[in-house]
Amino acid sequence: MGVSAYRLMGIVNVTPDSFSDGGLFLDTDAAVAHGLELVDQGAHMLDIGGESTRPGAEPVGAEEELRRVLPVIERLADALKGQSVPSPGASIDTQISIDTAKASVAARALQAGAVFVNDVSALRGDSQMAGVLAESGACCCLMHMLGEPRTMQRDPRYGDVVDEVKAFLEERLAFAVDQGIAEHRILLDPGIGFGKTAEHNLELLRRLDELMAIGRPIVIGTSRKSFLGRIAANAQGRPEPVAAVARLPGTIATNVIALERGASVFRVHDVAAVAAALAVVVAIAKG
């Protein structure tokens, strides 16, 4: 098995409308407590987001996004800085990521303590984002998405989804480097569930080795997504997808497969469970 070192990116949605946990962590205290809990569970990164990117989500203005995320980032940065002896399973150098496509939000987040920018638009959403990343020296993730969150699931079509996603990621990688972002600071995400049918998602996972050929670390975000709910429902003979909180088995299965195929960063809600599963994969691979 082609298993290498991996990192877990714990999701902290500071939003009222995210598909799985919208509203649960909109309060700053709740979001900070959740982030620290994910660190205790073994998160190497915390991805803080103030704007939902679920299918059909409405956009949020920069000021509102900043109002949601900045206090959370500042408090988590302070807490992690002082956590010299982490809890069992915690990463001693957990990093903070800002999940945004807005340059102004990314810049303020980086000043507040974030070191990573997770841009679902792959530098297409804001013409100033590349400059912010190049000047700051922050690491980033560039993701494939067909259209935008409001429209991406309206009959997505591809000739060959893997070939098209690969070409897109190669083009965005080249663009980012041309804009002064060091290649070694760039990660790539095929965008599972972002403008893709269930079969598109499965095909990307089956042929992940083709995306690995680009030569950059691959981020996988399947956690609790609807295609897993539909697969589980079909297996049980149920007409409706199982609830988001019941999609952990599918999340684990997809992440195990992705790790075996070379992915190295996993964006998840359920850090402890996924960490335990991936530890088994690594143990098996080591023989």
Q: Are 119 and 140 in contact (CB under 8 A)?
A: yes
> What are φ and ψ of residue 39, in 5° steps?
-65, -45
Which residue in the list 54, 108, 225, 261 is annotated as catalytic? 225
Which residue in the list 172, 216, 261, 267 is annotated as catalytic? 267
Q: Where are the beta strands (DSSP E) in 91-239?
A: 95-99, 116-119, 139-143, 186-189, 219-220
Catalytic residue list contains 225? yes
* CA-angle at 115, arms to 19 and 81, nearest 5°: 100
DSSP string computed for 76-102 = HHHHHHT-SSPPTT--TT-EEEEE-S-
Print burial letters for 193-208: b (CB count within 10 Å at least 16), e (below 16).
bbbbbbebbbbbbebb
Residues with catalytic function: 225, 267
